[in-house]
Structure 1
Amino acid sequence: MPAQSKAQQKAAGAALAAKRGDAKVGDLKGASQQMYQSMTEKQLDDLASTKRKALPDKKD
């Protein structure tokens, strides 16, 4: 499942870093915290690995 916006891709990257232990879970806020709690590492990796070039800044 590819990310639908740059903001979603960035939030997934932050949640993925926390899942892997590279970032603190306590530093997560908003969407990234929800993603951390509800998604698997594989799902987060799929979202975070989406190429950003063609994505809008935010989803309408």
Structure 2
Amino acid sequence: MPARSKAQQRAAGAALSVKRGETSKSKLKGASRDMLESMTEKQLEDFAKGSTKGKPERLG
């Protein structure tokens, strides 16, 4: 399932980077920290991939 907003996509990308060992966990905040702990690498990949074209900056 792809992200529904640009903010979700960025948060998933940041969490994915930490899960792969490319970034330190201390750099995460908010939603990306929650995503890291609650989602698998495959779920994060699915959320982070795809185009941002046509997506709102934030939901709600």
TM range (shorter): over 0.9
Aligned to 1:9: 9
Q: Which runs of 5+ in 1 are unaligned?
A: none
Paired position in structure 1 for 2:44: 44
TM-score (norm 1): 0.96
Per the TM alignment, residue 50 of structure 1 is displaced from its structure 2 partner at its CA by 2.5
Deviations 1:1-60 (A, max 9, x none): 010100000000000000000000111000000000000000000010021011100011
Task: State the identity %.
Answer: 57
Question: What do you get for the CA RMSD once the two structures are aligned?
Answer: 0.6
Match of 1:23 in 2: 23
Distance in 1 of aligned mates of 2:25 and 2:2: 23
Q: Distance in 1 between matches of 2:59 and 2:38?
A: 20
SS of the residue corresponding to residue 52 of structure 1 reads: coil
4+ runs deviating over 2 angstroms: none
